[in-house]
Chains A and B, each alone.
Chain A
Amino acid sequence: MKNLAIQLDGVGKKYRYFTLDNIQLQLPPGQIMGLIGPNGAGKSTTIRILMGLIHQDQGEVRVLGHRMPAEQVAAKWDIGFASEDMRLYDVMTLDWHMRFIRSIYPQWDPAYAQLLLKRFGLMAEQKIKGLSHGQRVKATLLLVLARRPRLLVLDEPTTGLDPVARHEILRELTAVMNDEGRSILFSSHNTQDVEQISDQITFIDRGRIIDSMDKEAYLDRWRRLRLEAPTGIELPALPGVISIRQTGRLAVATSNEFGPGIARAYENSGARVQTIENMTLEEIFVAKVELSREEHQEVGA
């Protein structure tokens, strides 16, 4: 593939109690990818591998065309990386950090940095140790955003933030997309953030990718159908329906391959389709994780 911002092919990493297994990821330039997964699913490990901070046991990693970890020095000029455990110097001011980053990265945009200070409500002369959690997160993001890197890699950028701060950050991330040449990969367990701003979504659970695709196409495949089945009618098992729950005359079916054929098949069986609802990414994520764990256990048993 030409010019992918990120490409992971068959990437694996074994730990004593955790295995990252056969990770495939592709992020085209000009797009935002949201990486969703429960705690301990492998989101941070995947991010660390693609940043060259951890070396994979197997598989190919390319970031902005550079092979990782071998070419990480060249790659990092154009990547802005931020994560929770990134340490700023407590006794130094934000301004000191800004001047420090500016001295390393020639692309630093001082006007944009000033604008971000104002938008994030930060004061440059304040020492890091006096900042709240939210201010620290925003300070870290300011330091990577003002470099205007071609790729932003953000590990949980909105975790633990109040709604206003979250909103400010999502606004800056979507503003990056004004430039078609730039891309963002971010992880989150806030599915609402991911649903709102991502072009691509990737679900990861227990070290494996369970789905990775275009968000609109993905959301479109999932539906919840509310059915009314007269007594004595048995609802057929249909391909593309992953679960059906029946209580009395009412039933709820969840489809991950929805098409008009599914509603028709229920009608033909004598049931009535009351409503067909879209699902939120959160509902889909939970359903998908449950399904994937069931399937995996069956295979394992």
Chain B
Amino acid sequence: MQNLGINVIFQGRNLQRLFEGLLITMEISFISIVIATFLGVLIGLSRTTKYKPLLLINRLYLEFFRIIPTLVWLFIFYFGVTTALNVDLSGLSVAIIVFSLWGAAEMGDIVRGALQSLPKHQTESGMALGLSHWQLYLYVLIPQAVRRTLPGTINLATRMIKTTSLVVLIGVIDVVKIGQQIIESSRFEFPTASFWVYGFIFVLYFIVCYPLSVLSNKLEMKWNN
């Protein structure tokens, strides 16, 4: 029996399962973003140091994560680190580790950029008004630095969410994997399932990422004026 293709999404528990898969995707993204932000701020602050070896390590760390594609890192950890350290890591754990490390590297750069872009005269005006070192940071510099990191951070978050689609390739049961399972099991009833399911997942990602992109644009415009 040939059914109208799009209905495959609404069959049985399919919709529910897809959303559960989406939840996994969001979990990976969210946890990674939080860890990445935390580490990233530390890394970013450490970039202002004058200690050369630390700067070098930081630089290498960033460059390595930039030159080597994220999927390769997922492979390295999933196949390589597990064998080398004789640990058994699930695809999920590997995903979170890799995304956190990658995110932290990028965040570090964003934070550094924000700190460097603060106008020097802010510090001078603050000191001229008699603010103490800590007050200067708390009331003047940090709020401004946070502002400047926000668009980049949101942009990074969007990229990370999109990249989590790759975890299906190391066996994680995310929304893409569930989609594939649905397609496979609906082969006879819904031969056109792959079109509708992937189409649906496509739309899901858009619904998640687009608001973030709009938010980032709004913030940038608001604070550039």
Whether chains A and B associate is no
Q: Which A residues fall within an 8 A CB radius of B?
A: none
Q: Which B residues fall within an 8 A CB radius of A?
A: none
